[in-house]
Chains A and B, each alone.
Chain A
Amino acid sequence: MIWILVIFLPLMAALFTAFNPAGKRRSGLIFIIASLPAIWLGLADGTGVTIDWLILGTHFSLDPTRRIILLLTGILWATSGLFAGSYLKDDARQGEFSFYYGAAMSGNFGLLISADAASFYTFFALMTFASYGLVIHSGTPSARKAARVYLVMAIIGELFIISALFLAVQSAGSMLLADIPPALAEAPNGSFIFLLGLIGFGVKVGAIPLYFWLPLAHPAAPAPASAVLSGAMIKAGLVGWMHFAPIGLVEWHSISLMMVGLGFAAALGAVIIGLAQVDPKTNLAYSSISQMGLMTAFLGVGLNGGIPAELLLPAIALYAFNHGTAKALLFLGTALPAKVGGAWRILMWAGLGLGVLAIAGGPLTGGLWTKYMLKTFLGKTNLPGAQFFLLLLSFSAIGTALLLSRFLHLLYRIEAPVVNKVPAFFLPWILLLIAGGWWTMSPALLSAELMSHVLGEKGIITFFWHPLTNWSALWPILITAGSLVMAFLLKLAFVNRWPGEKPLVPPGDFLYIILLAGYMVVKFLQKGISLLQSFMQSRHSAEKIFYGILDDKRTLQISTSAEALLRRWEIVGIGFFIFFLTLFFFLR
């Protein structure tokens, strides 16, 4: 029952908040209620359920990895939903927003609890297409453009996903997702199927080179929608990868190296382009690409072999949990500086600062802990260049700290209200801050096996207060702070005098290269296309010959006179009755 409620309540909430005036007013509360079953399942230990009449026979169940992601997703949809309820209350199209919000929520929860291919794909598609409505919500030209790019990429992703699922289901001989990784490990074309999935879900994850829709679409949506897009829905792609990745079963060295390479390229490259942005939300979107790059890399590490999936996947999931909650906190935070005044601003800046530190892996934050966990895996693998990648990991910490300082700076420039006031949506923001911090840092979500694998004998408290760990967390931050101060002192004004209106690199960078290439190809092929079009417009040759005979004078004459007769329907009607009856009796 609870499993059905997880997907059913958000759908009901979508309808109720969209069409019922009372529901519209209380949408925040309704979305909280709608996400309670998901949060409950994320925390409780439930056995799965089979619903054999739904779609192609549905199985719902959870494993520790997806339980962590489900908890993250539930928290984000609940808090963002409450946030949206008051943030959008003056928006004329709040009803529409709620409709798409609820539908995407149902899809996002559903895909996490699905254990079979068809329902997973169903809910994934529901989420993807419903969130189109969130991206296009504001209706501005830039939002429309972002939505168009989003949709095209989403469809391309869907096509890759469905082909990967076709092949995977066929080679597994079962609809269960859990059977896919072992089947891919065995199948001769297993790595090809995995690559199809890698591309398909890579669109959602924002992996290189499929990421360019993301810096357009995530910032285009209203703040609460951006929060769930970048915090929760982006992780759906990661979950898709996890369903396909035969971690611990194979040693795919080249795919592993490719994923690690692309992952780190995203982790560092996105920082550089992100620094050139002037919109805080675009800045955050690039930070998401960077962080997802790290998760890509660590999934890649797993494909090199030697690491059991039961250890690696929950660790990546917890990293995603930390990133998701902190990123959502920052995305929601973009709406605050213009609304929060007076003493509340101190709390606001403290929260934002914690969010930034959590993503950058600062001392005493969940970011430090989750990154440390992943690091231990990198230390134990025989991947070529592991030491080099460890170094890159530290660089990425510096990069992230720089990028998010830039984010804070951008927020700082937003004019503060003069009065001492706080909007209603400050409450869910604080709730998110507390929930995110609590569950990332508490060992409750992880298995004892993983804890001892990472920490050995010492407990998590010792870990957090250990001087060495804190130093390893602190130095990238110190370097960042140092370089910022240096830049300021040298009056390069690298940060302060950044051209304020236009970003140095347009958001969606790579898209423009694609568009340019496309333009050139189109120009090159224009002749061919016009030829094709003229073919399309003319009747094809078989028809031409046919019409040649038809339009001949005599045929025309006969047929027109015959038709004049035929047009009198009584004659047709009676005629063919007689024909029918004669035939009948003749044959009799």
Chain B
Amino acid sequence: MEMNSLLLILILFSSLVPGILILLLHERQVFMRSFLNLLGAVVKVGLVAWVFAGYYSGEEYVFIFGLAPDLTFALQVDHLGLLFAALSAVLWLVTTIYAIGYLEGGKHLRRFFAFFSLCVTASTGIALSGNVVTFFVFYEFLTLSTYPLVVHRGDDIAVEAGRTYLWYTIGGGTVLFLGVVGLFVVAGPVYFGQTEIIANLVAENELQLTILFFIMLTGLAVKAAIFPFHGWLPIAMVAPAPVSALLHAVAVVKAGAFGIVRLVYDVYGIDTSEQMNLLTPLAVFAAFTIIYGSLKALFQDDFKKVLAYSTISQLSYIALGVAITGVLSTTGAVVHLVHQGIMKITMFFAAGNVAETYGYKKISQLNGIGRRMPLTMGAFTIAAFGMIGLPPIAGFVSKWYLGLGAIEAESYWVVLVLLASSAMNAAYFLPIVYRAWFCEEGHEMVHRRRPGRFETPALLLIPVVLTGLFSLAAGVFAASANSPLSIAREIAERLYLYLP
């Protein structure tokens, strides 16, 4: 097997192998477990960086393994997949550090970290999939590997939440399966990027293709938490903070959003989707979800619940950007895949730090927390401002491109949706910021659960500071080469290269 193909397999194995090895370890082998985890994470970042550099210098990375005639397991690297793989790899590393600190001394850590690794294997697999079937395999793999993480705490609430989670995601998976099989029957094997296959079939099979599109979209919408399939997301909040962080930033919800991006851009193609008028319903649902998620978030007092509804709202920015055609909105959608991830993971880390250090889980308890945890809340503030869309933070860049894209496509109502969402984001995030920095603490002092030198254990502090800085840097240096924005712009320009 040639080197380049091997690299792709190695990227997957860098988390799969540690996952399996951890299963074989004993619960008390803490050091070995952490070591394996971190080693895997670092190796993965290194490998992705290697492939990244190679791809940009013109190398090609493809791995195809025939399962049956016409049915292949295919991995390949393109710009979009690489961007998502890089996001997964980097955030996995950060989250691993965080999880080791967060769960220190907990129970069932062997199980947790094993599935944690498998979950990332799945999400990198999704990123690197070369065709629809492979994508589906990893998509389902992800569902199953995240379930043990969601129910990690093992109490009744967690199990109940896990049940809801499975119902939704397995249901979505089944629907997606129908769509994938249907597509296979109608169009044969479809590799990502071969949009001409569908384009050539439109004339004869328009009805079938339309139905299949919406079946697959529905399947993907469950994970992407688009209304009315969003119900599992706030319930799944019972999971420990690192899991929520990963779930909301790269793994599950992002897999859905990424799937939608792939479906529209690389399976049906923009031209065909536009021509068959498939995108308007998506735009309407996405816009409604944006508003609905924000509205729900306004009425929550539970810190993590606010973040969950905010995720529902923010993810639909991606779907909305996909649903509007034009280079600018495509750029906005793709770049928001990354930006939403780094900002939201920062917020979950911050919420986790506050809960872990002082036991505060409600927003009404956060008065004056900024003075006690300045770095954590500083990072949170950056991310919150980014979510509102204030410059120079990552979220602003996404909003700028989406807004310009909407005007370019003359969908002025989309601009109104974006503005309304910004206003509501401000209305539910700014009170948190206000309480943290400008309110005096209550009279009864709650003592720290884990005393130490820093405001919170270093393993919890470093990740939140890092991702906070990422969020800032992604905005401040957006125009520089190799920023998420420049990659997203390149993806968008390639997509529209052959279009009139």
Contact = CB atoms under 8 A, between A and B. Distances in A.
B148 A54 contact: no
Interface stretch (A162-170, A279-287, A363-371): A162-170
Contacts, number: 110
Main secondary structure of the interface of B (DSSP, over half): helix
Interface stretch (A33-41, A176-184, A537-545): A537-545
B144 interface: yes
Interface string B64-101: 00011001000000000000000000000000000000
A54 B477 contact: yes
A504 B120 CA distance: 66
Interface string B115-151: 1000000000000000000000100010011011001
B295 A536 contact: yes
B480 to A, nearest CB: 3
A16 B57 CA distance: 43
B475 interface: yes
B323 interface: no
Given A118-B400, A567-B159, A53 B391 contact: no
Given A167-B407, A543-B231, A573-B148, A563 B391 contact: no
Question: Interface residues of B toward A: which range?
Answer: 35 or more
Contacts of A583: 137
A53 B479 contact: yes
B39 interface: no
A159 interface: yes
B397 A573 contact: no
B404 interface: yes
B18 interface: no
Interface residues of A, number: 49
B363 interface: no
Interface string A43-75: 000000000111111100000000000000000
B415 interface: yes
A543 B296 CA distance: 16
A569 interface: yes
Contacts of B196: none
A403 B404 CA distance: 46
Interface in A396-429: none
Interface string B444-485: 000000000000000000000000000000011111110001
Contact of B299 (A53, A159, A536): A536
A194 B472 CA distance: 31
Interface stretch (A121-129, A209-217, A298-306, A506-514): A121-129
A170 B407 CA distance: 7
Interface stretch (B237-245, B345-353, B422-430, B491-499): B422-430
Given A55-B479, A166-B415, A559 B299 contact: no
A170 B108 CA distance: 55
Contacts of A550: 163, 167
B379 interface: no
B475 to A, nearest CB: 7
B430 A151 contact: yes
Given A122-B391, A559-B163, A573-B148, A159 B68 contact: no
B285 to A, nearest CB: 13
B419 A56 contact: no
A162 B479 CA distance: 19
Nearest to B416: A163
B403 interface: yes
Nearest to A580: B141
Contact of B148 (A53, A572, A580, A587): A572
Contact of B419 (A136, A163, A587): A163
B228 A588 contact: no
Interface in B246-262: none
Nearest to B137: A583
B151 A567 contact: yes
A151 B437 CA distance: 15
A155 B440 CA distance: 24
Given A539-B231, A550-B167, A573-B23, A567 B154 contact: yes
Given A125-B390, A587-B71, A53 B477 contact: yes
A118 B404 contact: no
Contacts of A167: 407
Given A167-B407, A573-B114, A587-B71, A155 B479 contact: no
A559 B167 CA distance: 11
B441 interface: no
A122 B71 CA distance: 51
A431 to B, nearest CB: 33
Nearest to A588: B67
Contacts of A158: 390
Interface string A528-549: 0000010010011011001000
Contacts of B295: 536
B385 interface: yes
A55 B423 contact: no
A533 B300 CA distance: 12
Nearest to A585: B67
B438 A163 contact: no
B274 interface: no
A55 B167 contact: no
Contact of B403 (A58, A166, A584): A166
Given A56-B478, A166-B404, A563-B159, A536 B438 contact: no
Contacts of A163: 403, 415, 419
A576 interface: yes
Given A170-B408, A587-B68, A54 B476 contact: yes
Given A55-B476, A121-B391, A587-B68, A572 B415 contact: no
Interface string A568-588: 010011001000100110011
B441 to A, nearest CB: 13
Interface in B137-180: 137, 141, 144-145, 147-148, 151, 154, 159, 163, 167
A55 B475 contact: yes
B476 A129 contact: no
Nearest to A540: B228
B392 interface: yes
Interface in B281-325: 295-296, 299
Nearest to B407: A170
10 contacts: A52-B479, A55-B392, A122-B392, A125-B390, A155-B426, A166-B400, A533-B299, A550-B163, A573-B111, A588-B68
Given A573-B111, A573-B114, A588-B67, 17 more contacts: A53-B480, A56-B397, A118-B400, A126-B392, A129-B385, A139-B440, A151-B430, A162-B422, A166-B406, A166-B415, A543-B231, A563-B163, A566-B147, A567-B154, A569-B148, A572-B144, A573-B23
Interface of A: 52-58, 118, 121-122, 125-126, 129, 136, 139, 144, 147, 151, 155-156, 158-159, 162-163, 166-167, 169-170, 533, 536, 539-540, 542-543, 546, 550, 559, 563, 566-567, 569, 572-573, 576, 580, 583-584, 587-588
Interface of B: 23, 67-68, 71, 108, 111, 114-115, 137, 141, 144-145, 147-148, 151, 154, 159, 163, 167, 228, 231, 295-296, 299, 385, 389-392, 396-397, 399-400, 403-404, 406-408, 415, 419, 422-423, 426, 430, 438, 440, 475-481, 485
Closest 9 pairs (CB-CB, A-B): A53-B480, A122-B391, A587-B67, A57-B479, A170-B407, A166-B403, A122-B392, A576-B144, A542-B228
